[in-house]
Structure 1
Amino acid sequence: MSNGRIESGGIILQAQGAEDRLLVEGYGDGGFRLLGRRFDGGVIVLPSGVYPVTAKTVTELDISDFGRLLSADPKPELVLIGTGTAMALVPSAVRDALGQAGVGCDMMDTGAAARTYNVLLMEDRHVAALLLPVD
């Protein structure tokens, strides 16, 4: 991808065409492949950039992990939450805070969340993903 710049706390895309979308290229072994690079640990993926997440499990998730997502412009209408190797419920405080911010959330295993994010992004939906790592 062209015109990417690395900033503290993530990678931000400066320019993006319809044919140059930020897709999840792969996952496993504790990380993700995006932009032709490996990212260890959890990530937030927005059409405009990739940002690290400190939580490694669903129980560690806090609304602060969604800060970049909630400050995005435009704010996504939906965040897909990849909960690891199996679907698990996100803490109710996180779900409530996302709902109050006007962002819907859907929880699924990380592989399904990564694939669904790619499909929805290709359909030009305002979508984001918070993906927790799988081994």
Structure 2
Amino acid sequence: MEIRDAHFPGRAPLDAYGNGGFRFAKMSHQGALLCVPSGIYGWDLTDPSEFSRQAFSKVFEEMADIEVLLVGTGMDLVPLAADLKDKFREVGILADPMSTGAAVRTYNVLLSEDRAVAAALLAVD
């Protein structure tokens, strides 16, 4: 038996967030999400202190198709570490940290405009 990481192939707006998870495409997911052009993935992070280049490796793999990365840092805005922000800038991605709620709303707007957007979202209660 093969066990796969949580993955929704394709892009979809996020219908709801809270209670430790997200709803999208008539499904729900508990925990953090990483929304990139290839799909929506479960993301095994719970706190902004866990942000690292390795944590964002999927974003870097798909950087050619991403102009803006919205980083939902939980209930409150937590700035990205300077070295991580520099790495995003180096590869041509505008990384914009904000509360998860603001990131979800902005992601949906940019997605509806067919923009090259990705989102890395920590779950909130």
d(CA) in 2 for partners of 1:28, 1:99:
30
CA 1:50–1:115 in 2, change beyond 3 Å: closer, same or farther?
Answer: same
Q: Determine if contact 2:73/2:97 at 8 Å carries over to the other structure.
A: yes
C-alpha deviation, 1:115, in angstroms? 0.5
C-alpha deviation, 1:74, in angstroms? 4.2
Match of 1:9 among 1, 5, 15: 5
Q: Which runs of 5+ in 2 are unaligned?
A: none
Normalised to the residue count of structure 2, the TM-score between the two structures is 0.88
Deviations 1:81-128 (A, max 9, x none): 001001111222221221122111111100010010000011111000
Q: Report 1 or 2 for greater relative contact order, CA contacts < 8 Å, sequence distance ≥ 6.
A: 2
1:90-105 equivalence runs, <5 A = 90-105=80-95
d(CA) in 1 for partners of 2:65, 2:88:
11
In the alignment of these two chains, the number of paired residues is: 123
1:31-46 equivalence runs, <5 A = 31-46=21-36
Deviations 1:13-59 (A, max 9, x none): 26xxxxxx511111101111122111111111124311122221111
d(CA) in 2 for partners of 1:91, 1:33:
29
Q: Percentage identity across aligned positions? A: 36
Question: Corresponding residue for 1:132?
Answer: 122
Match of 1:62 among 52, 60, 69: 52
Q: Determine if contact 1:76/1:103 at 8 Å carries over to the other structure.
A: yes
Q: Determine if contact 2:63/2:91 at 8 Å carries over to the other structure.
A: no
Question: Is structure 2 residue 111 aligned with structure 1 residue 111?
Answer: no
d(CA) in 2 for partners of 1:101, 1:128:
14
Q: Which runs of 5+ in 1 are unaligned?
A: 1-6, 15-20
d(CA) in 1 for partners of 2:90, 2:26:
35
RMSD: 1.8
d(CA) in 1 for partners of 2:82, 2:5:
26
